[in-house]
Amino acid sequence: MHKLEIPEEIIMQFGRSKALCVLTGAGISLASGVPTFSGAGKISYFRNYTSDYLASSAAWRDYPEIVIEFYDELRNRIYKARPSISHQTLHGWEQRRFAYPLKFFLLTLNFDGLHHLMGSSDIIELQGTIWQLRCTFCQTIVDLVPFRQLPKPDTCDICQGELRPNILFKDELIPRAIYRQAVIAIEQSDTFMAIGVSGKNPYIHQLVKIARRRCRNLIEVNPQITPLSEYFDVLIRSRAEEVLPQFYWDYLSEENNFFWI
């Protein structure tokens, strides 16, 4: 495998961050075997419908049974996936935040639950999770057991309403409260890193623009140029699993060294 060496200066700069906000996308889960809607390893069709269509509100309105089957199939594939070295690295960075005054925020566009499985906590899941269903009537959330193939309920226990995946359909907006949490995380950070994010959703552009205004260092990790690339200071054209372990977020200035005595 080609190994890309990250310039020392960039790693040092990264290591000096006091508050880091990471946004992850489908690219980080490819190495874990999670299928995506686009790019390598994608699911293109299911029962003669495109996956793009099945992930839309129109499909949910017209063919809810097929949409449910489609997400069941996705869940069946995801349950075999396991966190990669990238998920592991991010979990390691999260552990550093307990050394005050460092802060770490994790935003993800992925609904596969792999960050949770790795042990990361306080994840802002911008598009929901495949391990939850939501009642379309009373909005109650039903938690499924992550990474287990167990029978799931068909209707809401409370009101018998129809249950849908608690995942944003492609034409839906991020709930305001979750978007707000993401903005607050970015505003508190000095370094912003986007990993494996294709940048197709307009609201992601908005978040990255906020990062451009508020953060000192912006790093993009993606094998391809993306519509977001222009906002970043450092572009690392590589897959997450090849480069993330090279970043050590372990710089502590003199005045903070006492934490380690």
Burial of 223 (0-12, 13-18, 19+ CB in 10 A): middle
Question: Using the rule CB under 5 A, is 164 a contact of Zn ion?
Answer: no
Nearest distance, CB of residue 132 and Zn ion, angstroms: 14
Closest distance between Zn ion and the C-beta of residue 144, in Å?
A: 16
Closer to Zn ion by Cβ: residue 122 or 157: 157
Which of 87, 71, 99 lies closest to 30 in space, CA to CA?
87
Residue 21 · residue 211 · CB < 8 Å? yes
The whole-angstrom separation of Cα 182 and Cα 204 is: 10
Give me the least distance between CB of 63 and Zn ion, in Å please.
21
Taking CB under 5 A as the criterion, which residues in 16-55 touch Zn ion?
none
Indicate which single residue of 99, 141, 158, 225 sits in contact with Zn ion (rule: CB under 5 A): 158
Report in angstroms the alpha-carbon separations of 163 from 44, 47, 79, 146, 200: 24, 21, 20, 17, 27
Q: Quick one: 99 or 158, whose CB is closer to Zn ion?
A: 158
Question: What mask of x and - would describe binding to Zn ion in positions 115 to 144, judged by CB under 5 A?
Answer: --------------------x-xx-x----
Q: How many helices (H) and strands (E) does the chain have?
A: 10, 11
Q: Which is nearer to Zn ion, 162 or 190 (CB)?
A: 162
Q: Which residues contact 92 (CB under 8 A, 6 or more apart)?
A: none
Q: Give the position of tokens 């049974």.
A: 65
Amino acid identity, residue 100? Y
Q: In the window 99-118, what residues touch Zn ion (CB under 5 A)?
A: none
Q: What count of other Cβ atoms lies within 10 Å of the Cβ of residue 191?
A: 22
Which one among 159, 173, 184, 225 touches Zn ion, defined by CB under 5 A?
159
Helix axes 176-187, 202-214, angle to 10 degrees: 30
Q: Give the residue, chosen from 78, 156, 193, 194, that forms a contact with Zn ion under the rule CB under 5 A.
A: 156
Output the smallest distance, CB 167 to Zn ion, in A.
17
The nearest distance, CB 154 to Zn ion, in angstroms, is 12
CB of 157 to Zn ion, least distance (A): 8
The stretch near Zn ion (CB under 5 A) out of 16-24, 51-59, 151-159, 187-195 is 151-159
Give the shortest CB-166-to-Zn ion separation in angstroms.
13
Q: How far apart (Å, rounded) are the C-alpha atoms in residues 107 and 226?
A: 18
**Which residue among 41, 161, 223, 227 contacts Zn ion (CB under 5 A)?**
161
To 10 degrees, the CA torsion angle through 188, 190, 243, 202?
60
Nearer to Zn ion, 161 or 227 (CB): 161
Two tokens at 161? 């309403």
Query: What residues line the site for Zn ion (CB under 5 A)?
Result: 135, 137-138, 140, 156, 158-159, 161
